[in-house]
Amino acid sequence: MEKVRFGVIGIGNMGSGHVQNLIAGKVPGAELTAVCDIKPARLEWAKGVCGDAPVRYFADSHDLITSGLVDAVMIATPHYFHPIIGIDAFRNGLNVLSEKPIGVYTKKIVEFMDEAKKSGKAFGIMYNQRTDHFYQKMREMIRNGDLGALKRCVWIITDWYRTQAYYNSGGWRATWAGEGGGVLMNQCPHNLDLWQWIFGMPSAIYANCEYGKYHDIEVEDDVTAMAKYPNGATGVFITTTGEYPGTNRLEITGSKGKLVYERGHLMYTKNEIDEREFTFASNQGFASIPSKTEEIEIPEGHGEQHVGILKNFTNHILYGEELLAPGYEGINGLSLANAMILSSETGKWVDLPNDGEEFWALLQEKIKTSRMKEDADVVFSTEGTYGNK
């Protein structure tokens, strides 16, 4: 294979960007050969962007998948359809790159991963924030032991402000039937992924999720969560779409020091002596550990983002390059989101990992009373393809 032929399924906000990146030749070794959307207007837009390029246009995902025109699909549809389309693609011998989140409920993602394994094809997820060199550096330092024994991770990510007009822009938005959740499912999948990618997966979650606290919506727009980790460390995750101005501050503390990432600056405070050693060795009750704070310069900045993931996925298929964001890891961040909502509903800690059955039952009940408009462009389904209502 000299080039990977891509089909983009879903040309909304994200899919349109992938179409433009591919048609502009920003991804060496990749070419756009097919596009799919259920809206005729979006296909017309794609035709205008692609011009005379040899691209075929489809109104149904299965028709694109079985056309013989593509080697890989980039799935950028509403969330419920990600595993549905991905499973269809794997069963037809295609490589799959999915937008985030990998889906809405982990029970379906297990099936998605099983089909990926059976197919032997490449499986990736568009976690473009993993290309950000600030986050990469934090992960590297933790794995190198620069922070010592990990104690706490606190992420205040409240700069996701959205107006009511945003939620009114689509009949499927912020509904259980159309989107499967709110800020956790739409705005925070990257943050939830990075939280566990950098600090590790917790063993239990406890959360308070407020539904429609700041907007006329049925899903969560304000979340405060706590986490427990196998080594005894703890975590806090706070997010909302209802605060302005917001904060984006990631703070990680260990026995050897602290990392703080905020406003494009990564600050590192290094203890001269490990706190665990110092606290039992010192004979002074109010002693302080000598430490030094410095800013870590990151010349590479925020990385190549979406194009970087497309390049990496293409190179993985062509040359065996290691995937930066394997699709199999998409279940981790989704598990955190599911656990937060389930914990809020039950008032209990939710252990991780779990089989997802309890959350799936809860989600089904919420779907029954969902306010998603009947004329919305997306209709919830556990089966079928994008394009069939």
Position 381 scores a pLDDT of: 42
174-to-159, 273, 344, 368, 373 alpha-carbon distances in Å: 18, 49, 18, 15, 11
Mean pLDDT by 10 residues, the chain (389 residues): 96 96 98 97 97 97 98 96 98 98 97 98 98 98 98 98 94 91 97 98 98 98 98 98 98 98 97 98 96 96 97 98 98 98 98 96 96 56 50
Position 36 scores a pLDDT of: 98
Q: Any idea which residue has 């259980």 for tokens?
A: 176
Q: What residue segments make up the domains of the chain, in order of their start? A: 4-126+305-326, 127-303+327-389
Position 374 scores a pLDDT of: 54
Position 171 scores a pLDDT of: 81
Q: Any idea which residue has 């706070």 for tokens?
A: 238
Structurally, at CATH architecture level, domain 4-126+305-326 sits in 3-Layer(aba) Sandwich (3.40)
Position 380 scores a pLDDT of: 42
Cβ-count burial 60-70 (b if 16+ within 10 Å, e if not) = bbbebbeeebb
pTM: 0.94
CATH of domain 127-303+327-389: 3.30.360.10
255 class by beta-carbon count within 10 Å (0-12 exposed, 13-18 middle, 19+ buried)? middle
Domains 4-126+305-326 and 127-303+327-389 share a fold: no
